[in-house]
Amino acid sequence: MQTFSTKFAKQNPNLIASNIFGLIKDEMALVEQEFEKQASSNIQVINYLGEYLRSSGGKRVRPALLLLSNKAVNSDASQANVVRMATVMEMLHTATLVHDDIIDNASTRRNKVSVNARFGNQSAVLMGDWLYMSAFETSLQERSLEVLDILTELTRKMTEGELIQLTVLGRTDISEEDYFDILQRKTAYLFSACCEIGAILGNASKEVQKALRDFGKNLGIAFQLADDVLDFTAEKEVLGKASGADLLEGKLTLPLISLVKTEPEITGVLDKIMRDGEYKNNARQMLLQKLDDHGHLAETRKKAHDFADLARKNLELLPKTEYRLGLEQIPTLMIERNK
């Protein structure tokens, strides 16, 4: 008889995603309904902006992680409570994207005009703030200081990540240590919080809570490393934004940090691209070729797989249910999502 894991192993990433999300199909539909409810307001402009953001889509990976983590610990928690907190995590994620796009002066998000580009920075800032406050207001219904502590620390870390990144924006001397510090604050801690809160809502042991927290953190790092590779190799339809956009925004990703170590003289080219805000004279193709020649893209992809392996090891404490097996497959989706 074919098991859940062997069935996944023989399928492509799209079918794997379909199977994983199929495990929580009903709950994800409820998350969508809850998001629509929480993002609505009797103030017309907020209602309009909230619907614009919600309908922009996204893979909803973060609420899915909370739901799967909760089910993976054999939770008997109220479905309404779990769905509500899964929605909170998506609202926090959406708020960070709105603010990130303002900082980066981004014109698109998920192949759609960004909120700041369509409605202006002032409206976008206030809408991001409103989403943050609405998410925290909703989370108060849990009456859990533990959950609130996690959300408060998470929001602080994400804000610190943005501030730290601003201090290195446009610089070519950023270290790997700085890079990973920013990565964890801006990306990995949110993944981690989703998994940990799912375990807390399921009354899991402290040991299991930590295992899922570490799983989320390692998964988030793998996700971002894969995104660094995609930034140079994927088509716009995969990224939801222009290829090579990170460098245009003044951000050096891990492959470029490695390239600077290998060819210090490349800093002049990178400085010019960041200063001009565009790739001229086939500069992007030249960088891509150098990254390939030196193996920096392959090296970054390998690191992504290494963190994915660590994430899977974090799940060994959990009972081997279809939900754990679903979690085990998510790292593969994060890394292979361009195929």
CATH number for the domain that contains residue 136: 1.10.600.10
- Give every CB contact of residue 325 below 8 A, 6+ residues apart in sequence: 4, 5, 8
Position 336 in a domain? no
Share of the chain above pLDDT 70, in %: 92
The H or E element that residue 108 is part of is strand 108-109
pLDDT, one tens digit per residue, over 187-196 is 999 999 999 9
The pLDDT of residue 241 is 55
User: How many C-beta neighbours within 10 Å does residue 47 have?
Assistant: 13
Band of pLDDT at residue 339, cut at 50, 70 and 90: very low
Position 145 in a domain? yes
Position 237 in a domain? yes
pLDDT above 50 for 2? no
- For 9, the token pair is 């192993």
Secondary structure class of 109 (helix, strand, coil)? strand
Position 231 in a domain? yes
Position 335 in a domain? no
Quote the number of domains for the chain: 1
The pLDDT of residue 338 is 57
Burial 67-95 (b: 16+ CB within 10 A, else e): bbbbbbbebebeeeebbbbbbbbbbbbbb
Band of pLDDT at residue 5, cut at 50, 70 and 90: very low
pLDDT above 80 for 110? no
Question: What is the amino acid identity at position 61?
Answer: V
Position 191 in a domain? yes
CA separation for the pair 106, 125 (Å, rounded): 13
Band of pLDDT at residue 8, cut at 50, 70 and 90: very low
Backbone angles phi, psi at 23, to 5 degrees: -65, -30
The pLDDT of residue 238 is 52
Band of pLDDT at residue 11, cut at 50, 70 and 90: low
* Alpha-carbon separation of residue 129 from 236, 270, 272 (angstroms): 29, 34, 35
Residue 208 or 232, more confident: 208
Position 332 in a domain? no
pLDDT above 70 for 159? yes
The pLDDT of residue 76 is 84
The pLDDT of residue 292 is 94
Residue 286 or 237, more confident: 286
pLDDT above 60 for 9? no
The pLDDT of residue 235 is 64
Band of pLDDT at residue 1, cut at 50, 70 and 90: very low
Backbone angles phi, psi at 109, to 5 degrees: -150, 120
Report the chain's mean pLDDT, rounded to a whole number: 90
pLDDT above 90 for 164? yes
The pLDDT of residue 3 is 42
User: How many C-beta neighbours within 10 Å does residue 149 have?
Assistant: 10
The pLDDT of residue 4 is 41
pLDDT, one tens digit per residue, over 27-75 is 999 999 999 998 888 888 888 888 888 887 778 999 999 999 999 999 8
Range of the domain at 73: 4-327
Q: Tokens 């479905």 — which residue?
A: 79
Position 337 in a domain? no
DSSP result, 52-63:
HHHTT----HHH
CA separation for the pair 233, 297 (Å, rounded): 9
pTM of the predicted structure, to 2 decimals: 0.91
